[in-house]
């Protein structure tokens, strides 16, 4: 899979003292380096367990809550923005959560070079950048090529779970996911899924709901 258009723009955002301390002193404990060869999940997490990947975890609120609620699962978080990485690392350290690892690299490269085929229990992508302007739609993360790549990485019966608060992007997600032959919509009648209890409601989402914003969840299962 070759994709030269990135779905993100790296900006030199402000990093708090707490985030910087975590990056300087704690990152090595949680980070998985990009090597270009397939990972072995049992070696990476030092145990045998189902592994779920979150692409673009932002400030890490959802990933933190899910890892805390499901200590029996392994979680790999992918994020390129250092403020979010620092924030999640600090939280993981404070709560002594050990079932999360982080990789600071482009998700497309990770899935094509690091993740073995049919090795994941699931992939989650919550509130990716909607790139609302039409000329920027090509930057959107959810594209047919990527979904095909993600589907190849998950086991039979595994899931791809996307969520967005941008209705037009939700429609595109539904179309792209529905057109992938390896996947089937968890909703037998098609369409969007109710938010599962496994996906935490973040402060950002609660604020949007208070303003009347909708949220659309899509859950597709590997055939």
> Is 24 known as a binding-site position?
no
0.95 surpassed by pTM: no
> Is 98 known as a binding-site position?
no
Question: Domains, the chain, ranges and CATH?
Answer: 17-25+48-222 (3.40.50.150)
Among 37, 147, 183, 40, residue whose Cα is nearest residue 101: 40
Residue 129 annotated as catalytic: yes
> Is 203 known as a binding-site position?
yes
> Is 202 known as a binding-site position?
yes
> Is 129 known as a binding-site position?
yes
Token pair 């369409």 in the structure block, residue: 191
Q: Where are the alpha helices (DSSP H) in the chain?
A: 17-25, 27-30, 41-45, 61-69, 82-95, 107-113, 144-153, 167-178, 203-210
Eight-class DSSP state of 31: B
Q: Give the tens place of pLDDT for each residue, 176-204.
A: 999 999 999 999 888 999 999 999 997 77
Q: Give the tens place of pLDDT for each residue, 50-73.
A: 999 999 999 999 999 999 999 999
Catalytic: which of 24, 48, 91, 129?
129
Distances in Å between the Cα of 188 and the Cα atoms of 121, 202, 220, 221 are: 21, 28, 10, 11
Q: Give the tens place of pLDDT for each residue, 90-147.
A: 999 999 999 999 999 999 999 999 999 999 999 999 999 887 787 757 879 999 999 9
Q: Give the tens place of pLDDT for each residue, 98-113.
A: 999 999 999 999 999 9
Task: Please give the Cα distance from 124 to 199 (Å, whole number).
Answer: 9
């Amino acid at each position: 899979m070759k994709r030269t258009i990135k779905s993100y723009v790296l900006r030199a955002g402000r990093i708090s003292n707490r985030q910087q301390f975590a990056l300087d002193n704690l990152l090595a404990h949680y980070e998985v380096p990009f090597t270009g060869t397939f990972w072995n999940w049992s070696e990476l997490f030092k145990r045998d367990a189902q592994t779920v990947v979150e692409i673009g975890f932002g400030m890490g609120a959802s990933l933190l809550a899910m890892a805390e609620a499901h200590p029996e699962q392994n979680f790999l978080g992918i994020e390129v923005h250092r403020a979010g990485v620092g924030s999640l690392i600090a939280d993981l350290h404070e709560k002594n959560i050990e079932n999360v690892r982080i990789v600071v690299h482009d998700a497309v490269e990770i899935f094509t070079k690091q993740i073995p085929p049919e090795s994941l229990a699931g992939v989650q992508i919550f509130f990716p950048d909607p790139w609302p302007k039409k000329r920027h739609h090509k930057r959107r993360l959810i594209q047919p090529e990527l979904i095909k790549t993600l589907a190849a990485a998950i086991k039979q019966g595994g899931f791809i779970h996307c969520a967005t608060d941008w209705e037009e992007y939700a429609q595109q997600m539904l179309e792209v996911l529905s057109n992938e032959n390896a996947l089937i919509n968890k909703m037998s009648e098609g369409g969007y899924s109710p938010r599962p209890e496994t996906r935490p409601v973040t402060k950002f989402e609660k604020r949007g709901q208070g303003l009347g914003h909708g949220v659309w969840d899509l859950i597709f299962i590997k055939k």
